[in-house]
Homo-oligomer: A and B are copies of this chain.
Amino acid sequence: MSRNFGLFQKNSLPKCQVRLSSSASSKLNISGIYPPIPTPFNEDESIAYDKLKFNMDKWNTVPFRGYVVQGSNGECCFQNWDERIEMVKKTKDFADPNKLIIGGSGCESTRDTILMTKNMADAGADAVLVVNPFYYKASMNNQALKTHFTKVADSSPVPIILYNVPPNTGMDIPPEVVVDLAHHPNIVGMKDSGGDITRLAALCFQTSSLDFQILAGSAGFLLAAYNIGCVGGVLGLANVLGEETCRLAQLAQTDDAKAAMDLQLRLVGPNTCVTRRFGVPGLKTALEWFGYYGGPTRLPLVPLGQQDVDIMRNVFKKSLYLD
């Protein structure tokens, strides 16, 4: 699975299905498409586990590699310690057995992140996604970041995936830190939601001799990401247009560049709506349109106004996903 420079091999198997690593590498193969699932709430803001099951029954029919639970789209930071773990457990229960379950276990402190990682592993997570601490961003120098991720990876019973999400954290994990951490046997890859394709290409190049797998963090640049060596994506849009995102992943790995471009361009507008532009309220609105349970967010996230709903509907129409 290593990407030796000068010898990049595009795997001919569809990446959207489970494929256990058969190479000498001991690292978990995480390639493929994942929806970072939203947490469904009842009107009183309690977690609606029945609605989670309803949604997952539908998602299980899509050729996803697995699920990310308790990521940014899961309103992770609005849930308490026990809820975060219970959501992992329930997702594992409701998921097809061949799906990877990735839990978002990042906390601000190293000690909490270590404990949450263990708790999520116990609850059934096959791997964890660890966002960098960011509240004290001015103090998050290279040494602090390396120490944090190394300690978490050292003690984790499951593989670690780094999580870089500058729109939320207000910072980037510096490339030299990523390259350094890529050598750790228990750090298998990174999800990057920044969308700076030059940064991602540099990281793919610098980690090409290592077993380090990079996942696009948004469907807006999924094709571009595959074309410079990324191996999958954790895509908010996959919750809504799962088949289409998996199909884009497949096209990106075939030789039909025209079809891939066509589909990528259709997806970029809807993607922006359910991510940067309208956030989780936008995502939950769109879920309803496609037969899923959306439901309310927890406060302080507020529902979209009618004007924004109309804008969003128009964007989906222009891409021919709504009539």
Which positions in A face B, CB cutoff 8 Å? Answer: 5-6, 8-10, 45, 72, 75, 77-81, 108-112, 133, 135-141, 143-145, 147-148, 151, 167-168, 170, 195-198, 201-202, 204-205, 208, 218, 220-221, 223-224, 227-229, 255, 257-258, 260-262, 264-266, 268-269, 271-272, 276-281, 298-302, 319
Contact = CB atoms under 8 A, between A and B. Distances in A.
Chain copies in complex: 4
A144 B224 contact: no
B261 A8 contact: yes
A279 B196 CA distance: 19
A268 B300 contact: no
Contact of A110 (B110, B269, B298): B298
A6 B137 CA distance: 35
A94 to B, nearest CB: 24
Contacts of A278: 139
Contacts of A279: 136, 138-139
Nearest to A115: B80
Contacts of A144: 299-302
Q: Which 7 A-B pairs have the closest CB atoms?
A: A198-B220, A224-B224, A170-B170, A78-B109, A110-B299, A148-B300, A139-B279
A276 B137 CA distance: 10
**Among A223, A228, A264, A278: residue with most chain B CB under 10 A:** A228
A319 B201 CA distance: 13
Contact of A198 (B80, B135, B221): B221
B218 A280 contact: no
Nearest to A170: B170
A50 to B, nearest CB: 21
A269 B112 CA distance: 34
Nearest to A139: B279
A233 B44 CA distance: 39
A262 to B, nearest CB: 5
Given A110-B300, A300-B133, A201 B265 contact: yes
Contact of A205 (B167, B255, B268, B280): B268
Nearest to A300: B148
B301 A139 contact: yes
Contacts of A197: 195, 197, 220-221, 224
**Among A109, A145, A195: residue with most chain B CB under 10 A:** A109
A295 to B, nearest CB: 16
A205 B300 contact: no
Contacts of A260: 227
